[in-house]
Structure 1
Amino acid sequence: MIKVIHQLLNRVLYVASISPIKYLNFIVFSIKVSVKKILVSRKKCSTIKLYHNMV
């Protein structure tokens, strides 16, 4: 998990250095993608529990 976060930070910094205008959009996109990956990687049962806890 820490490795994934580290990779995300590196990507964000890389994109920010190229194009600061797209910086925010990229952060939002990265967060959405990482959340989807986390949810998919867990079992459906725990995903449903997680969803109920959030709602």
Structure 2
Amino acid sequence: MEWFRARREAIVMIEQYRQQHNDGRPHSSLGYRTHQEFKKLLPPTPQTAALAS
């Protein structure tokens, strides 16, 4: 049984899944927030403040 027609198709589909799984779905360890939602709650650090200026 073949799941993908070509190697490139597999690479693209797996990367899309990986991004959705890691970045697009809520995580229980982050209070059921996505990574982006959680990052917005963090206070600025000296490193991130320097990048913003």
TM-score by length of 1: 0.39
Higher relative contact order (CA 8 A, sep 6+): 1
Larger radius of gyration: 2
More helix by share: 1
